Amino acid sequence: MAPGEKIKAKIKKNLPVRGPQAPTIKDLMQWYCLNTNTHGCRRIVVSRGRLRRLIWIGLTLTAVALIIWQCALLVISFYTVSVSIKVHFQKLDFPAVTICNINPYKYSVVHDLLADLEKETRSALKSLYGFSEAEPRKRREAESWGSTWEGAKPKYLNTIPLLIFNEDEKDKARDFFTGRKRKVSGKIIHKTSNVMHVHESTEMVGFQLCSNDTSDCATYTFSSGINAIQEWYKLHYMNIMAQVPLEKKINMSYSAEELLVTCFFDGMSCDARNFTLFHHPMYGNCYTFNNKENETILSTSMGGSEYGLQVILYINEEEYNPFLVSSTGAKVLVHRQDEYPFIEDVGTEIETAMSTSMGMHLTESFKLSEPYSQCTEDGSDVPVKNIYNAAYSLQICLYSCFQTKMVEKCGCAQYSQPLPPNASYCNYQQHPNWMYCYYQLYQAFVQEELGCQSVCKETCSFKEWAMTTSLAQWPSEVSEKWLLPVLNWDQGQEINKKFNKTDLAKLLIFYKDLNQRSIMESPANSIEMLLSNFGGQLGLWMSCSVVCVIEIIEVFFIDSFSIIARRQWQKTKEWWARKKAPPSPGLPRGQQGQDNPALDLDDDLPTFTSALRLPPALGTQVPGTPPPRYNTLRLETAFSSQLADTQVPDKP
């Protein structure tokens, strides 16, 4: 470095440096620590001793880390909710009530359609259990299995054969139809049950479903023969009923006049005109009370069983299908007026010869949508088309997604759910591969491989009726003697049969009280509260304010970047000057008068104190103040003659 440059550097070093004019980041940080109002930073600079400085550095960094951690927690927990519960005492709207007989169709009407299926089912049960035969099991197995099927070959057992599996022979099974062992390939899915085991614990009953080309098969086994035969029967039953027109199926099921014997609501009489027909594929004709199709939604004025819905149902057990249902009674579901009744999933069964009282408590919930939760207001933001004529719900979304996937992959829809647009129910004649496709698709749905669970969302607002159920024997032995004859007389025109108490069921649905509980979510935080919490954390750990934060941003980002950019720009200019300067082949350049470091002035003038410390330039004589010339103090006559008017007259 040239001597002049060294002097300039020394002058700049001793000059006071302010803020962004500091030449280095170190000087900038030193200036910041001396002038900031943030506690801790100044102690790092002014503390004496290395240990004390290290302690203050550690404390300051710890405080900064705690501030960052606490502020991050505040940001993460910003989208949280607070839950408030409100109880209202008011007149309540009565919910919709859907009632279905467990048996979907009258057995006497559908018997002709199911005759061949029932014949093969009875033959399978006879081969499996022997029924009333007293012959030992070994003797029955020794007989020819083919002798059981005399005459024509079975239609349904040949389509989906029932098989007996032995755990000792994993790849082989015995066919019910031929009695021969056959090789089983493909996936084996076992459905456990504790109802009943077939013969020995090592044997299981099941059936095999294959695709059209029989190259891909899936075998379903059950530890209970009852479950296996019911599942096998249900598959063929759905196939048969899918081919029956809807109008005919409605006529096969129970009418409202047959199902509803008596009806009272809020102390007043009602009848079948207050119920709306709803045909369910698996439960036949169902009837909804207080549906949305009514002109006005009914409400109840008081709580208690006397002010709710009271109906007596005629179950008619003699018309039950013995292989389709194994229990007697009805199914009831309480729901909103615009909600689809999933009676098969969430319905409550009521018994015959019993009085079932269902007390309700209404709870209405309101959730916040995104970004607080993943709920949806009306399902418009869900990429699944609603195939139900009802308001959106999570269950509707899941079933709509499954039905749509089934139509895409199997070419038809599941029989137990509504039809998607331009689709038909599955049956053997049009879709011979539908059973295998349905079971494979259902397994993928249960294992969440179809993606339906990931796209469907819960609703943000919904109503729930918490039910308290109690049972009592009805009618009593004393009242039975007069009650049944009166009911027979009242219903003599609709039902040509004497009532038995095992054919009747009484149902009471009512509000226990008129307390409506509302659960509402509200944002737990706001922008004002978040900023206040930020200020609290800054003040707690470093006694810092918003102005301090702005100062930190200015110094650590803007000023630091300016210093770095200025240094880089200076280096670039020097590099460019060296690149453009022509080479000097002659003698080395000597010092000229203008090269005197003492005379090389800088834009930043030195102070008086710093200028006194300037060293003399090497090899040059610094000009100083010359000594005075004393001869200049002599008096000399300024004028050779004096004017007349300026002369002083002589004294006499």
Q: What is the pLDDT of residues 588-647, one digit of tens each?
A: 554 444 445 444 444 445 555 555 555 555 555 555 556 666 555 555 554 445 545 545
Question: Of 12-26, 153-167, 507-521, 555-569, which range is least confident?
Answer: 12-26
pLDDT at 351: 93
Quick one: pLDDT at residue 101?
95
Alpha-carbon gap, residue 208 to 184, rounded angstroms: 8
Confidence at residue 602, expressed as pLDDT on a 0 to 100 scale: 47
For residues 531 and 525, is the Cβ–Cβ distance under 8 A? no
Q: What is the pTM of this model?
A: 0.72
pLDDT of amino acid 311: 95
- pLDDT for position 214: 56
Question: Between β-strands 81-89 and 504-523, what pairing exists: parallel, antiparallel or unpaired?
Answer: antiparallel
Contact assessment for residue 174 and residue 180, using Cβ atoms and an 8 Å cutoff: yes
Give pLDDT, residue 83: 86
Model confidence over 401-423: pLDDT tens digits? Answer: 998 888 888 888 877 777 787 78
Residue 587 pLDDT = 47
Choice between 587 and 198, residue whose per-residue pLDDT is larger: 587
- 240-244, 340-344, 505-509, 547-551 — which is least confidently predicted? 547-551
pLDDT of residue 358: 95
Can you give the pLDDT at residue 495? 58
**Can you tell me the mean pLDDT for 297-321?**
90
Q: Which pLDDT belongs to residue 372?
A: 87
Computed over every residue of the chain, the mean pLDDT equals 78
- Cβ neighbours around 224 below 10 Å, total: 18
pLDDT digits (tens, 9 = 90+) for 44-70: 877 888 888 899 889 988 988 998 899
Q: Does position 359 have pLDDT exceeding 90, yes or no?
A: yes
The pLDDT of residue 135 is: 43
Rounded Cα distance, 530 and 608, in Å: 54
CB 315 within 8 A of CB 503: yes
What pLDDT is attached to residue 333? 95
- Give percent above pLDDT 90 in the chain: 23
Nearest CA-CA partner of 66 in 639, 538, 566: 538
Q: What is the pLDDT of residue 594?
A: 47
Percent of the chain with pLDDT over 70: 76
**Distance (Å, rounded) from C-alpha 126 to C-alpha 128?**
5
